[in-house]
Chain A
Amino acid sequence: MGFLNREYECMPREELKKLQDERLKDTVRRSYENVECFRKRMDEKGLKPEDIRGVEDLHLLPFSYKQDLRDYYPYGLFAVPMKDVKRVHASSGTTGKRIVVGYTEEDLDMWGECVGRMMASLGVTDEDIVQVSFGYGLFTGGFGLHSGAEKVGAMVIPISSGNTANQIQTMIDFGATVLCCTPSYAMYMGEEVERLGVKDQLKLRIGIFGAEPWSENMRRQIEEKLGIRAYDIYGLSEVLGPGVSCECEAQAGMHVWEDHFIVETINPETGEVLPEGEPGELVFTSLTKQAFPVIRYRTRDICTLINKPCSCGRTHIRMGKPNGRTDDMLIIRGVNVFPSQIEEVLLRVSGDQITPNYQIVVDRVNNVDTFDINVEMSESFFSDDIKSIEKLERNITEQLRSMLGISAKVHLVNPKSIVRSEGKAKRVIDHRAGKI
Chain B
Amino acid sequence: MIVQQLSVFLENKKGRICAAADVLAQNSINIRALSLADTSEFGILRLIVDRPEEGKQALTDAGIVVRVTKVLALTMNDTPGGTLGVLRLLSESGISVEYMYACVGKTTGKAFMIIQAEDLENAEAILQRNGFEQADLSEL
User: Which residues of A (374-394) have their CB < 8 Å from a CB of B?
Assistant: 377, 379, 382-384, 386, 389-390, 393
Asked if B7 CB lies within 8 Å of chain A CBs, one says yes
Fill in one digit per residue for A332-350: 1 if any B CB lies within 8 Å of its CB, else 0: 0000000000000000000
Asked if B9 CB lies within 8 Å of chain A CBs, one says yes
Asked if A275 CB lies within 8 Å of chain B CBs, one says no
Once the chains are docked, how many angstroms separate the CA of A414 from the CA of B59?
12
Check A414 against B37 for contact (C-beta < 8 Å). Answer: no
Q: Do A415 and B65 contact each other (CB < 8 Å), given the known contacts A386-B39, A390-B39?
A: yes
Once the chains are docked, how many angstroms separate the CA of A389 from the CA of B63?
18
Q: Closest Cβ of chain A: how far from B43's Cβ, in Å?
A: 9
Fill in one digit per residue for A44-73: 1 if any B CB lies within 8 Å of its CB, else 0: 000000000000000000000000000000
Asked if B11 CB lies within 8 Å of chain A CBs, one says yes
Q: Do A377 and B44 contact each other (CB < 8 Å), given the known contacts A384-B116, A414-B9, A417-B11?
A: no
Q: Most chain-B Cβ atoms within 10 A of its Cβ — which of A379, A412, A414, A417?
A: A414
Asked if A97 CB lies within 8 Å of chain B CBs, one says no
Check B41 against A384 for contact (C-beta < 8 Å). Answer: no
Q: Closest Cβ of chain A: how far from B71's Cβ, in Å?
A: 9
Once the chains are docked, how many angstroms separate the CA of A415 from the CA of B59?
13
A411 contact from B7, B42, B44, Cβ within 8 A: B42
Asked if B110 CB lies within 8 Å of chain A CBs, one says no
Q: Which residues of A contact B44 (CB under 8 A)?
A: 384, 386
Once the chains are docked, how many angstroms separate the CA of A377 from the CA of B64?
11
Q: Which residues of A contact B39 (CB under 8 A)?
A: 386, 389-390
A416 contact from B41, B46, B63, B69, Cβ within 8 A: B63
User: Which residues of B (31-90) have their CB < 8 Å from a CB of A?
Assistant: 37, 39, 41-42, 44, 46, 63-67, 69
Q: Which residues of A contact B67 (CB under 8 A)?
A: 382-384
Q: Which residues of B contact A377 (CB under 8 A)?
A: 9, 65
Q: Which residues of B contact A413 (CB under 8 A)?
A: 11
Once the chains are docked, how many angstroms separate the CA of A384 from the CA of B120?
14
Q: Closest Cβ of chain B: how far from A414's Cβ, in Å?
A: 5
Check B63 against A383 for contact (C-beta < 8 Å). Answer: no
User: Which residues of B (83-136) have their CB < 8 Å from a CB of A?
Assistant: 116
Q: Interface of chain A, helix or strand or loop or mixed?
A: mixed
Check B65 against A384 for contact (C-beta < 8 Å). Answer: no
Check A393 against B64 for contact (C-beta < 8 Å). Answer: no
Once the chains are docked, how many angstroms separate the CA of A386 from the CA of B42?
9
Q: Closest Cβ of chain A: how far from B22's Cβ, in Å?
A: 15
Q: Which residues of B contact A410 (CB under 8 A)?
A: 41
Q: Which residues of B contact A412 (CB under 8 A)?
A: 9, 11, 41-42
Once the chains are docked, how many angstroms separate the CA of A424 from the CA of B42?
26
Q: Closest Cβ of chain B: how far from A120's Cβ, in Å?
A: 49
Which single residue of chain B is at the shortest CB-CB distance from A390?
B39
B contacts with A, residue count (CB < 8 A):
18
Q: Which residues of B contact A409 (CB under 8 A)?
A: 41
Q: Which residues of B contact A415 (CB under 8 A)?
A: 63, 65
Asked if B12 CB lies within 8 Å of chain A CBs, one says yes
Once the chains are docked, how many angstroms separate the CA of A377 from the CA of B12?
13
Q: Closest Cβ of chain B: how far from A391's Cβ, in Å?
A: 11
Which single residue of chain B is at the shortest CB-CB distance from A381?
B65
Fill in one digit per residue for A218-238: 1 if any B CB lies within 8 Å of its CB, else 0: 000000000000000000000
Which single residue of chain A is at the shortest CB-CB distance from B46?
A384
Which single residue of chain A is at the shortest CB-CB distance from B68?
A384
User: Which residues of B (5-39) have their CB < 8 Å from a CB of A?
Assistant: 5, 7, 9, 11-12, 37, 39
Check A383 against B7 for contact (C-beta < 8 Å). Answer: yes
Q: Do A414 and B64 contact each other (CB < 8 Å), given the known contacts A384-B7, A386-B37, A393-B41?
A: yes
Once the chains are docked, how many angstroms separate the CA of A242 from the CA of B136?
73
Once the chains are docked, how many angstroms separate the CA of A384 from the CA of B99?
11
Check B12 against A414 for contact (C-beta < 8 Å). Answer: no
Once the chains are docked, how many angstroms separate the CA of A288 from the CA of B67?
65
Q: Closest Cβ of chain B: how far from A227's Cβ, in Å?
A: 37
Q: Which residues of A contact B69 (CB under 8 A)?
A: 383-384
Check A389 against B65 for contact (C-beta < 8 Å). Answer: no
Q: Closest Cβ of chain B: how far from A296's Cβ, in Å?
A: 46
Once the chains are docked, how many angstroms separate the CA of A388 from the CA of B116?
16
Check A411 against B11 for contact (C-beta < 8 Å). Answer: yes
Once the chains are docked, how many angstroms separate the CA of A156 from the CA of B140?
72
User: Which residues of A (391-416) have their CB < 8 Å from a CB of B?
Assistant: 393, 409-416
Check B63 against A382 for contact (C-beta < 8 Å). Answer: no
Check B65 against A414 for contact (C-beta < 8 Å). Answer: yes
Once the chains are docked, how many angstroms separate the CA of A409 from the CA of B44?
19
Q: Closest Cβ of chain A: how far from B119's Cβ, in Å?
A: 15
Task: Give 11 new A-B contacts, CB below 8 A, not counting A382-B66, A386-B44, A415-B63.
Answer: A377-B9, A382-B65, A382-B67, A383-B67, A384-B67, A384-B69, A393-B41, A411-B12, A412-B41, A416-B63, A417-B63
**Could you list 19 A-B pairs, sorted by A, with CB under 8 Å?**
A382-B9, A382-B66, A383-B7, A383-B69, A384-B5, A384-B46, A384-B67, A384-B69, A384-B116, A386-B37, A386-B44, A389-B9, A389-B39, A411-B41, A412-B11, A414-B63, A414-B64, A414-B65, A415-B63
